[in-house]
Amino acid sequence: MKIALAGNPNSGKTTLFNGLTGSNQYVGNWPGVTVEKKEGKLLADKSITLTDLPGIYSLSPYTNEEIVARNYLINEHPDVIINIVDATNLERNLYLTTQLREIGIPVVVALNMMDVVRKQGTFICIKSLEEAYGCPFVEISALRSEGFTDLLNKVYSVKGTEPQKRLIFDHHIEEHVNELENTLGDLNYKRYYAVRLLENDQRLGIEVSKETLETAERVRKELEGIFDDDIESIFATERYEYIEKSMKTCHKCGVKKTFNPDKILMNKYLALPIFAFVMFCVYYISVTTIGTIATDWVNDVLIGEIIIPGAQNLLASIGTSEWLIALITDGVIGGVGAVLGFLPQLALLFFLLSLLEDSGYMARIAFLLDKIFRKFGLSGKSFIPILIGTGCSVPGIMASRTIESESDRKMTVITTSFMPCSAKLPVIAMISGAMFGGASWVAPSAYFIGIVAILISGLILKKTKPFKSEEAPFIMELPAYHMPKASNVFKHTWERVRSFAVKAGTVIFVACIVIWLLSNFNFAFEMVDSNESMLADIGSVIAPVFKPLGFGTWEASVATLTGLAAKENIVGTFGVLYGTAEVAEDGMEIWANLQQAFTPLSAYCFLIFNLLCAPCIGALGAIKREIGKGKIAVFALTYQTIFAYIVTFIMYNVGKVFF
Ligand code: GDP
Ligand code: MG
């Protein structure tokens, strides 16, 4: 037996799915979290499969989610559809119910969030809803696991039964739909197809006869004539009128007036300042104050004073050769440790962002920024990936999944890494400290350039074929505010922290070994000074490429290259090449040497190029995963690098005139 779980985004599908199957899917107070369908077996009966479909508002093919969901329903023939409905938003949710009921597969409606409804003092008359929609309604609270038994019993009882009484449109429509249905022969789900054909749905996925197409065309014209409206509006109006009628008889009583925080938080004038203040607090806590204390402690005390000396002693005591000790302590522990050192800061940042996300606040920001972003061909939803990208591009790029429009999503994936991530912060700190006396404009300018690069890329990419698209309507549900749930927040934080740590343990681990080996040996595999190492030779070959950008030394070229493994490597590489191997986070020891090697202009150009050019391997991997096709990933890499090259070239040559 197969059960499909369908419902609006954020109606609690995944919570119910997890509750019924005992699995552990990602639950977010953020519409669009479930992008693909997920399958599981019922805890109550292992022979029954439950499929969690992506959240959809209708069966019209406006978004990918809608297509995934309806293809599943039509092609996989589930025995029963559980239509989960957010009972606090009944009217809007029932729109999908009217369409699901049309398919002909038995439907059981699960009225979710009943805990909230009861708290609001609202009463919903189940009986009148059942009468109006001709299928069972069950009150549940997915969050509190209430009503599950009742729900499953109803599901078993409707299985295999003839679909109950159908929705009745206006008699004109009914007659015309019937006429079209009759041309469809013995096709399954005739009524669904007839309505979709009438709505001129181009993505039905079936072949129909010429006769059917002609009938559809004619009937559509007739209906449009009768109602003096376009066909989509006719059906939508009919459905809403039906819902409205059904709501009148299902009487909700005693609605208590509750305070709506959006009155202040989304106020026309206050919204942006409040948002800026909230983000300032998040960064102040996680990056500037508490996070830095933790990160400094990990870097200086834990790694610098405990782990490295400890490892040196241990390795020496078991007679490890000197070069291997150097490789392990300087290369592996030093390199991987420098990256892991950022973990406390990032964990705190991710934790605070998860709080904001689960509370429902973040979803509103996307609306707030949509107007601005839209001017640049991006969607308001691009904001979340960009925001998360300031911590690390990898989760940022993954967060692009919430964007419906495929082309907007791809653009966001490609441009998110323009934002300075936490790995680029040490580079910014080093350049700003060494070349500009720590001037306070350097870091903000990096963020500013990052945002401008994203917006400009939006304008440019929108003009190219793969990214050109019709403006997708920005439909997103504002989730209800609620207290963040501890388990959700910790799960989100953990997932993000884990992916960061995995990166340190894999990509950076390998990169550190390679860099250390390359900078300590020459091509004859003799241990040499870094100036004569393989790394120096490689650097000299690529240096001319960067000459027009102002930093054509082999050291800068090598640093840029190693930055591709992980941007933190840039600081580490300079540490090895320009001074003592031990480099503090701000690179204090190498400042004097850096000042000799760069002019302020060339250093700034070096910084900007490294911020904008291809991101680290970890982020590139994420881009490939999210975009799917290798070709577009290669395009992304090329685009980013060429974009960075042009911007830096202009900056350097204009700068030369002025300075
Ligand atoms: P989906 O998008 O439909 O998969 O919805 P989720 O399962 O991700 O849930 C969306 C949000 O609603 C989450 O914050 C859940 O914790 C919350 N939620 C789900 N079911 C209930 C419920 O019965 N009562 C309350 N109060 N919240 C719920
Ligand atoms: Mg979900």
Nearest ligand, CA 31: 1
Q: From the alpha carbon of 485, which atom of ligand 1 is closest? A: 16
118 alpha carbon, closest ligand:
1
For residue 141, give the ligand 1 atom closest to its CA. Answer: 23
Residue with the nearest Cα to atom 21 of ligand 1?
143
The 10s digit of each residue's pLDDT in 86-122 is 998 898 899 999 999 989 899 999 999 999 988 887 8
- Residue 15, exposed/middle/buried by CB under 10 A (0-12, 13-18, 19+)? buried
Higher pLDDT residue, 144 or 63? Answer: 144
pLDDT at residue 461 above 80? yes
Q: From the CA of 252, how far away is ligand 1's center (Å)?
A: 22
CB atoms within 10 A of CB 121: 12
Query: How many whole angstroms from 38 Cα to the centroid of ligand 2?
Result: 9
Is the pLDDT at 541 greater than 80, yes or no? yes
| Residue 95 pLDDT | 94
Query: In angstroms, what is the span from residue 7 Cα to ligand 2's centroid?
Result: 10
Q: What is the mean pLDDT of the chain?
A: 84
Confidence of residue 166 (pLDDT cuts 50, 70, 90): low
Q: Is the pLDDT of residue 336 over 80?
A: no
Q: What is the pLDDT of residue 367?
A: 80
* Contact between 3 and 49 (Cβ < 8 Å): yes
Ligand 1 binding site (Cβ under 6 Å of any ligand atom): 7, 9-15, 27-29, 33-34, 55, 112-113, 115-116, 141-143, 485
The pLDDT value recorded for residue 254 is 45
Encoded tokens for 536: 């120096």
Q: In percent, how much of the chain has pLDDT > 70? A: 89
Ligand 1 pocket test target in 13, 16, 27 with most atoms within 8 Å of CB: 27
The CA-based angle 603-609-614, given to 5 degrees, is 145
Give pLDDT, residue 342.
Answer: 66
Whether residue 65 is predicted with pLDDT greater than 80 in this model: the reply is: no
Residue 194 has pLDDT above 60, yes or no: yes
Of 138, 143, 359, the residue with max ligand 1 atoms within 8 A of its CB, to mutate for a pocket test, comes to 143
| Residue bearing the CA closest to ligand 1, atom 11 | 29
Ligand 1 pocket test, pick from 8, 10, 52, 118 with the greatest ligand atom count within 8 Å of Cβ, gives: 10
Asked whether residue 210 carries a pLDDT value surpassing 50, the answer given is: yes
Cα–ligand 2 centroid distance for 402 (angstroms):
11
Give the model's pLDDT for residue 31: 47
CA angle 353, 358, 360 (to 5 degrees): 100
Query: How close is the Cα of 142 to the center of ligand 1, in Å?
Result: 7
Within 8 A by CB and 6+ apart from 257, the residues are: none
C-alpha 383 to ligand 1 mean position (Å): 23
- CA-nearest residue for atom 12, ligand 1, is 12
User: Is residue 257 scored above 70 in pLDDT?
Assistant: no
Least confident range of 401-405, 633-637, 640-644: 401-405
Question: Which ligand sits closest to the CA of 85?
Answer: 1
Which of the given ranges, 147-156, 234-243, 244-253, has the highest pLDDT on average?
Answer: 147-156
Return the ligand 1 atom nearest residue 488 CA. Answer: 16
- pLDDT above 90 covers a percentage of the chain that reads 29
Residue with more model confidence, 462 or 641: 641
Q: Which atom of ligand 1 is nearest to the CA of 18?
A: 7
- What's the confidence (pLDDT) of residue 580? 46
For ligand 1, the distance from its centroid to the CA atom of residue 454, given in whole angstroms, is 33
Nearest CA to ligand 1 atom 28: 143
Complete DSSP assignment for 118-140: HHTT----HHHHHHHHTS-EEE-
Tokens at 657, concatenated: 């005139």
Rg (CA), the chain: 29
Give pLDDT tens digits for 359-417. Answer: 988 888 878 888 788 888 888 878 878 877 877 788 788 778 767 677 888 889 999 99
Which of 312-316, 342-346, 434-438: highest mean pLDDT? 312-316
| Closest C-alpha among 362, 385, 399 to residue 451 | 385
Ligand 2 centroid from CA 35, angstroms: 8
Cα(117)–Cα(585) distance, integer angstroms: 53
Q: Are 102 and 167 in contact (CB under 8 A)?
A: yes
Ligand 1 atom with the shortest distance to the CA of 116: 26
pLDDT bucket at 258, cuts 50 / 70 / 90 = low
Q: What is the pLDDT of residue 33?
A: 45
3-state helix, strand, coil in the chain (%, to 5): 65, 5, 30
pLDDT, tens digit, 9 for 90 and up, residues 26-45: 555 444 444 566 888 999 89
Cβ-based neighbour number of residue 579 at 10 Å: 17
- Report which residue type is found at 656: K
Question: Counting atoms of ligand 1 from 1, which one is nearest the CA of 112?
Answer: 23
The model carries a pTM of: 0.61
| DSSP letters spanning 492-520 | HHHHHHHHHHHHIIIIIHHHHHHHHHHHH
Q: Would residue 228 be called left, alpha or beta, if left means φ above 0 and alpha means ψ between -120 and 50 degrees?
A: left
Residues 435, 436, 440, 442, Cα dihedral to 10°: -60
350 C-alpha to center of ligand 1: Å?
21
**Ligand index nearest the alpha carbon of residue 7:** 1
The residue to mutate among 8, 15, 112, having the most atoms of ligand 1 within 8 angstroms of its beta carbon, is: 15
More confident call, 268 vs 582 = 268
Rounded Cα gap, residues 11 and 480, in angstroms: 10
pLDDT (average), residues 204-210: 85
Match 């991006």 to its residue by tokens: 378
Residue type, 55: G
The string of pLDDT tens digits covering residues 262-317 is 889 988 889 889 988 887 788 778 766 777 687 778 777 887 788 888 888 898 89
Residue 651 confidence (pLDDT): 95
Q: For residue 457, name the pLDDT band (cuts at 50, 70, 90).
A: very high
Cβ proximity of 574 and 609 under 8 Å: no
CA distance 417 to 633: 13
What's the pLDDT score for residue 587?
47
Which pLDDT band holds residue 454 (cuts at 50, 70, 90)? Answer: very high
- Residue 463, pLDDT above cutoff 90: no
Which pLDDT does position 473 carry in this prediction? 62
User: Nearest ligand, CA of residue 84?
Assistant: 1
SS3 199: coil
> Atom 13 of ligand 1 has which residue's CA nearest to it?
29
Q: Measure 31 CA to ligand 2 centroid, in angstroms.
A: 8
Distance 26 CA to ligand 2 centre (A): 7
